[in-house]
Amino acid sequence: MSPVAPVSSTVPDLSAPSVPPTPPVQLSALLSREDLALRQIAGPVSPDPVIHWAHVSEMADPYPYLLGGELLLTAGVHIPEAAEAAGSGTYFDAYVARIVAAGGAALGFGVAPVHDRVPRALVAACDAYGLPLLEVPPATTFSGVARAVWQLMAQARLAELRRVTEAQQSLAAAASGPDPIPAVLRRLAQRVGGRAVLYGPDGTEIAAAGREAGTVRALADLADVVRPAHAPASATDTTGDTHLAAYALGTGLGFALAVAVPEHPPERTPGDHTIASVAAVLLALLTGEHHSGTGAARSSALVRLLLGAAPEAVAPLLGGGERWAVVHARPEAPGGAAPDAVTASALGTAFGSPLVDVDGDVVRVLLPADREPAPQAGWTCGVSAPAGPRDWPAADLQAARALARARATRTRLVRHGERPALSDLVPEADAAAYARTLLAPIAAAPALVETLRTWLSLHGSWDRTAVALAVHRNTVRQRIARCTALLGTDLDDPDVRMELWFALK
């Protein structure tokens, strides 16, 4: 093992899928299938061989047709009568040797209709070459064996995808909590069952989690491979039974993540790589935030505000000019989970600003006025008018009202206008009390409230309301009639509609 010359180093392929490929299955899992009744009669049983796919061939020399890792299935059609009658091992030795040379994982021999038993010379050859030999009974078809292999592979893939997904969610939660860097390393070490270390630009160990397993020096050496500015983004190596991997965090910052996984199962290698890559991205964001020039400037601005400086005095540190806009954004999916810090950060990136705050189910973004916010898929947004730092609180209220109008009109993005709206003329507390009183008769029925809101926003159109709510137009009519009865008012009166619209907003 040469720690400074890794077995492989690669730049991640962004076009490749982020999910791990289908993992192989253990031979023991196939043998445990009672419906197949397979029986291993030769070859080693430990360590448990893994199978990547099943292949049927009656070629006397299957070598050119094998890729490696196959369970090769044969009924022995290719066996010469003379070889079987003589019980000579010469033919079978050559046949098994070619399978092993091609990387075949195991051989399945079908009993009947060609042979009534597995040739003894084949059993001896498989024992001699260490190739697992399975007896396939007459009632079990080769297609049934192949289908079972694919079923087991699908089950293994689903389990691995679930493991990767749960790990990604766990890492994101750790990154958004207190003391995020040690938390991410702990979660990573737990998820891959090994050790995770973060190295600084000078090669010193900043934080670590998990068991060492005698890999301290090897991990540090591998981290040195990816740390330089023009080095590969990742590198791997092995030492004994331990799999090592290192990932560069960002470009030019010099931070590196290294991971050691003892007794690394080959079928879990792609999944562990995906999990470690997610952790590397999160750690790159965390380390970049604290050590980049812009991150330091934002930290300085925060400290000055906390120490009593005026907003207009610290705004130049944010690098966005004299005027700013506030965006309030809310996920469109009803009843979904509240946005987390990672989701909010992604939205801020889409708007071109790192100044993001999560307030319940609303994400607030402060961005320079010269950056025109565009509608974002999956979000409903309200944008304030441009304002100087002293007027940021007023801009925050404008963005909140614009978001309310966007939700009421089912518009993806609404900007605050220069002309004040009716709601701007009424104190918020008074407006809220008025709305509660007016809408009290239907407040306990969310379907009625939403139908009334949509129907009013679409100017009383039955068909457009039905399409917007994905219900039948008769359902809309019944709900509006119910609202009329409960509210005790005439919904054809424009004054009534205006009052209700104001209350719903």
Map out the domains of the chain as residue ranges: 37-139, 164-291, 322-423, 427-504
Q: How far is CA 472 from CA 213, 467, 483, 486, in A?
A: 64, 8, 17, 21
> Would you state the pLDDT for residue 264?
58
Closest CA to 275 of 182, 161, 154: 161
- Mapping DSSP to helix (H, G, I), strand (E, B) and coil, where does residue 355 land? coil
pLDDT of residue 1: 36
Whether omega for the bond prior to residue 138 falls within 30 degrees of 0, making it cis, is no
Q: Phi and psi of 212, rounded to 5°?
A: -75, -45
Per-10-residue mean pLDDT, the chain, length 505: 38 37 84 94 89 92 92 93 69 94 95 90 94 95 94 87 88 84 90 89 84 81 82 83 85 79 66 87 74 61 75 77 88 73 76 84 88 86 90 88 83 76 63 84 90 88 88 91 90 86 82
Q: What local confidence, expressed as pLDDT, does residue 309 receive? A: 78
- Alpha carbon distances (Å) from 366 to 78, 360, 375, 379: 75, 17, 16, 16
Whole-angstrom distance, CA of residue 172 vs CA of residue 166: 10
Q: 299-305: long-range contacts at Cβ-Cβ below 8 A with a sequence spacing of 24 or more?
A: none
- Two tokens at 116? 């009534």
User: How does strand 133-136 pair with strand 106-110?
Assistant: parallel
Class of domain 37-139: alpha beta
CATH number attached to the domain at 164-291: 3.30.450.30
Contacts of 26 (CB under 8 A, 6+ apart): 48, 49, 50, 51
- Token pair 């609303």 is found at 362
- Distance of alpha carbon 84 from alpha carbon 62, whole angstroms: 19
Which of 60, 50, 43 is closest to 131 using CA atoms?
43
- Name the DSSP letter for residue 389: G
Query: 240, 264 in Cβ contact below 8 A?
Result: no
* DSSP alpha helix (H) spans, 201-317: 216-226, 269-291, 293-306, 311-314
Distance, in Å, from the CA atom of 192 to the CA atom of 345, rounded to the nearest integer, reads 26
**pLDDT given for residue 251 in this prediction:** 57
Say what the pLDDT of residue 143 is: 95
Which is the CATH superfamily of the domain at 427-504?
PucR C-terminal helix-turn-helix domain (1.10.10.2840)
d(CA 331, CA 344): 10
What is the rounded CA–CA span in Å between residue 4 and residue 237?
9
